[in-house]
């Protein structure tokens, strides 16, 4: 079973990626009141072939990026901040930039945003609202709740419904 129901949502397990594969952005600080970090490794930290979750941080977790996963036929960018994991739609609603390679910023009100690598628009990881430019505060993108099993590191992403594409994938029974 790759999904379960909770809190009125369908949670889909993230295969082959655990909490310990994610870069922990809470460890990044600088001297500004607004935390700004930039990554030198723009790498597609996506599906891993490391097998079962490992409690030790994996080598992959050293890459200062989010992690792209595909769940319920949706591309979702995951960002770890301490023991919390945020899920946001991978495709920037402005012009399709890949948000999983965006930097994370903590704004003065302590909200966390991802900054799109293409044109620098910022999206709140908790609400999906555009925080910059302020003139586009009416724009938002999808965010997804992420459940973390702190024993195994397993991750599950919540959706209010199954993707129609979920059922179009061929299924093979009784081989
Ligand atoms: S594509 Fe993301 S800000 Fe333009």
Instruction: Check pLDDT > 50 for residue 109.
Output: yes
In the reported structure, the alpha carbon of residue 99 is separated from the centroid of ligand 1 by a whole-number distance in angstroms of 9
Q: What is the pTM of this model?
A: 0.82
Strand partners of residue 59: none
Report pLDDT for 172.
56
Instruction: Check pLDDT > 60 for residue 102.
Output: yes
Contact between 107 and 115 (Cβ < 8 Å): no
Instruction: Check pLDDT > 70 for residue 61.
Output: yes
In the reported structure, the alpha carbon of residue 119 is separated from the centroid of ligand 1 by a whole-number distance in angstroms of 5
Question: How far apart are alpha carbons 112 and 131 in whole angstroms?
Answer: 10
Range of the domain at 19: 3-29+53-160
* CATH number for 23: 2.102.10.10
**Domain membership flag for residue 174:** no
The pLDDT tens digits for 111-122 are: 999 999 999 999
User: Counting Cβ atoms within 10 Å, is residue 11 exposed (0-12), middle (13-18) or buried (19+)?
Assistant: buried
Q: Which residue has the tokens 């009141």?
A: 33
**Domain membership flag for residue 39:** no
Instruction: Check pLDDT > 80 for residue 81.
Output: yes
The pLDDT tens digits for 141-159 are: 999 999 999 999 999 999 9
Q: 123 in ligand 1 pocket by Cβ < 6 Å? A: no
**Domain membership flag for residue 48:** no
Residues 6+ apart with CB under 8 A from 82: 24, 26
């Amino acid at each position: 079973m790759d999904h379960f129901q909770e809190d009125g949502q369908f949670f889909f397990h993230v295969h082959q990626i655990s909490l310990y594969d994610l870069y922990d952005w809470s460890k990044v600080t600088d001297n500004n009141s607004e935390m700004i970090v930039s990554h030198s490794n723009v790498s597609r930290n996506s599906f891993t072939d490391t097998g079962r979750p490992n409690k030790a941080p994996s080598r992959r977790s050293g890459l200062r990026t989010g992690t792209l996963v595909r769940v319920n036929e949706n591309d979702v960018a995951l960002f770890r901040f301490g023991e919390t994991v945020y899920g946001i739609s991978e495709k920037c609603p402005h012009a399709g930039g890949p948000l999983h390679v965006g930097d994370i910023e903590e704004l003065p009100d302590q909200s966390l945003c991802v900054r799109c690598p293409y044109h620098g628009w910022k999206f709140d990881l908790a609400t999906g609202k555009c925080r910059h430019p302020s003139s586009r505060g009416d724009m938002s993108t999808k965010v997804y709740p992420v459940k973390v099993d702190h024993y195994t590191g397993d991750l599950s992403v919540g959706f209010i419904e199954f993707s129609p594409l979920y059922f179009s994938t061929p299924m093979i029974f009784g081989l």
